[in-house]
Chain A
Amino acid sequence: MSALKRHYALIVLATVLLLLPLVLPNNYYYDIVIRMAINAIIVLGLNLLIGFAGQISLGHAGFVGIGAYASAIFPTHFGWHPIFAMLAGAAIASAIAAIVARPIFRLKGHYLAMATLGLGIIIAIVIKNEGTYTGGPDGMPVVALGLMGFEISGEKQWYWVLAATLLFSFWASKNLIDSPFGRALRALHGSEVASQVMGVDIVRYKVAIFVLSAFFASLMGSVTAHYIGFVTPNIADFFHSIELVTMVVIGGMASIYGSLIGAVLLTALPQALSTFEGWETVAFGSILMLCMIFMPKGLVPTLAARFGRNDGEPR
């Protein structure tokens, strides 16, 4: 396989990200694209867990919330540098994920869904209740993100930061999937017993991918907090967790391209639906149901199957 062909998708994505600013008319559209990129990075990680490893998480917004509030609380209340705060948040999220992962991943299917859902809701309630630090339901402002005297501000600067991060995540996910680690993940999705018999330490892999996806979710929570300059408990709530899972499933489970498509579509959808005054929730719910009924495998795998582009590569 030639280098060009191997990096084909990466080059396409890079080109799109490079050319996009030429067609974005104003900051409103920049803002939407930035949110799409943030969601896409979280969803790439979550898809590794749900799509490739076959483990459900209905509480990932909890990790996003930890990152966001770490970036809000540590610099404001303790005077930490935002970068340290961001890393601390990611470390806390990873630690929580690692601690609960072992007992949680003995569970399967609906029990796993329940456990992760519970974890997410507990984190959201703690954020809402610890008003002295978190500002309670009203939320709190977040300082600007700066590094060595340079501060990221404005939609255009954030766009380039996130475009680079997205490109890196995309590349990293693709590599990860093709590594022995990725093959082990896919194997345990196929059959846990078979992979165990083949010598795959299934619990270790499940824990690892859960921690990894929590780590990225937390980082992106921090980025969201700095970008918007304000955090509210909504970022950690159950509905946000559901949105993230929906992006994975609508785009296509176990599909890296699907993660991008799912994040783009579901970030744009509420914007498009806002003209339906009052009917947004109904429209959003109906679209979810219709997509899942008619394309249970998600957009990208369904379309790939229809147009016969299946060369055995995971997509």
Chain B
Amino acid sequence: MLSQFLQFLFSGVTVGATYALAALGFTLIYNASNVINFAQGEFIMLGGMLAFFFMQSGVPMPLAILLAIAIPALVGIALEKLAIEPARDAEVVTLIIITIGASLVIRGLIQIWLGKGTHSYPAFSGSEPIHIGGATLLPQSLWVLGITALVVVALWYFFSRTLAGKAILATSCNPLAAQLVGINTQWVLLVSFALSAALGAIGGVLLAPITLTSYDVGIMLGLKGFVAAVVGGLGSGLGAVVGGLLVGIIEAMAAGYISSAYKDAIPFILILFILFFMPRGIFGAQVTERV
């Protein structure tokens, strides 16, 4: 009984950590530019697929992982520079379609380059499961949780203790005022996109040995990351992390106890209920609209 519960909890927290990273990516870009980046899921896919490709081509694992995070970051920069910046003043729907177009391009290119197959690579430190209270935990899950925790702490430090981080925060509060005090808002946008792409890619690199990866995993992972960001309250960093873990755990519990066929529907049912009763998510600020 307890062992089953623990098992579901472990798998929920592991996937939830990836959702949290994706949600943080959504949050970063949303705060910097008010854009919901529907290509966020493709960065998760890129991380996993690139790591697979480099390892298969004989690149040592640490370097392969580094490349699999750096390249998506560059893609993120290119996306901002080439597609988002020229359309800065467009309506929400228009920007959503631009990012969806970008996700199609990324997914299509990977499909042509690496094929439609499902891939995986060995876990970072063996796959001998650890037994805890009758449930098993994969070492890779510890990697996922550990790295996610590290990333969250690093982000917290970056945003609250460094000048660059504070410049980004300032820009998200009020771009015009930030510009007036001398912050290069152009640069803030670029950093946000690079950082958020890297976050997604880290999630993808970490998760691929557990859940496998293919050219089309980005859609669902990305959408669930979006759900996680909204659950926590769009724009809140803490909310994104809590939202990600919450979505992951509830999804795993519902899949285990209720119906595994409806696993993918659970996050969306959850978000509808949350939005019905808490229109701004759990951690969302109450804003008063000025007329």
Residues on A facing B (Cβ under 8 Å): 50, 56, 58, 100, 103-104, 106-107, 109-111, 113-115, 117-119, 121-122, 125-126, 129, 191, 193-194, 238, 242, 245-246, 248-249, 253, 278-282, 284-289, 292-293, 296
B173 at the interface (CB under 8 A from A): no
Known: A103-B276, A281-B108, A296-B94. 7 other contacts (CB 8 A): A106-B279, A113-B36, A118-B227, A122-B268, A246-B100, A281-B105, A282-B108
Q: Is A118 a contact of B272 with CB atoms below 8 Å?
A: yes
Nearest Cβ distance between residue B54 and chain A, in whole angstroms? 22
Contacts of A107 in B (CB 8 A): 275, 279
In the complex with contacts A118-B272, A122-B269, A293-B86, A242-B100 CB distance below 8 A = yes
Total interface residues in chain B, CB < 8 Å: 47
Contacts of B105 in A (CB 8 A): 281-282, 285-286, 289
B94-141 contacts to A (CB < 8 Å): 94-98, 100-105, 107-109, 111-112
Pick the residue among B98, B112, B279 that contacts A111 (CB under 8 A): B279
Contacts of A289 in B (CB 8 A): 83, 98, 101-102, 105
B201-222 contacts to A (CB < 8 Å): 219
Contacts of A287 in B (CB 8 A): 101
B66 at the interface (CB under 8 A from A): no
Nearest Cβ distance between residue A195 and chain B, in whole angstroms? 12
Contacts of A281 in B (CB 8 A): 104-105, 107-108, 111
Contacts of A56 in B (CB 8 A): 92-93, 96
Q: How far is the CA of A110 from the CA of B104 in the complex (A)?
A: 20
Q: How far is the CA of A193 from the CA of B290 in the complex (A)?
A: 10
Closest to A117 in B: B223
Pick the residue among A50, A193, A285, A293 that contacts B289 (CB under 8 A): A193
Q: Is A121 a contact of B108 with CB atoms below 8 Å?
A: no
Contacts of B91 in A (CB 8 A): 253, 296
Residues on B facing A (Cβ under 8 Å): 30, 36, 83, 86-87, 89-98, 100-105, 107-109, 111-112, 219, 223, 226-227, 230, 234, 261-262, 264-265, 267-269, 271-272, 275-276, 279-280, 289, 291
Secondary structure class of chain A's binding surface, majority of residues: helix
Q: How far is the CA of A297 from the CA of B237 in the complex (A)?
A: 33
Q: How far is the CA of A286 from the CA of B91 in the complex (A)?
A: 19
Q: How far is the CA of A278 from the CA of B109 in the complex (A)?
A: 9
Q: Is B97 a contact of A115 with CB atoms below 8 Å?
A: no
Nearest Cβ distance between residue B237 and chain A, in whole angstroms? 17
Closest to A246 in B: B97
Q: Is A286 a contact of B264 with CB atoms below 8 Å?
A: no
Q: List 15 A-B contacts (CB under 8 A).
A: A103-B275, A114-B271, A117-B268, A118-B272, A121-B223, A125-B265, A129-B262, A245-B96, A282-B112, A285-B102, A285-B108, A286-B101, A292-B95, A293-B83, A296-B94
In the complex with contacts A122-B269, A242-B100, A249-B97, A292-B108 CB distance below 8 A = no
- Sorted nearest first, the 4 A-B pairs with minimum C-beta distance are A285-B104, A281-B108, A288-B101, A282-B108
Contacts of B90 in A (CB 8 A): 292, 296
Closest to B36 in A: A110
Contacts of A114 in B (CB 8 A): 226-227, 230, 271, 275
Nearest Cβ distance between residue A79 and chain B, in whole angstroms? 28
In the complex with contacts A56-B92, A103-B276, A115-B272, A293-B87 CB distance below 8 A = yes
Pick the residue among A103, A245, A279 that contacts B108 (CB under 8 A): A279
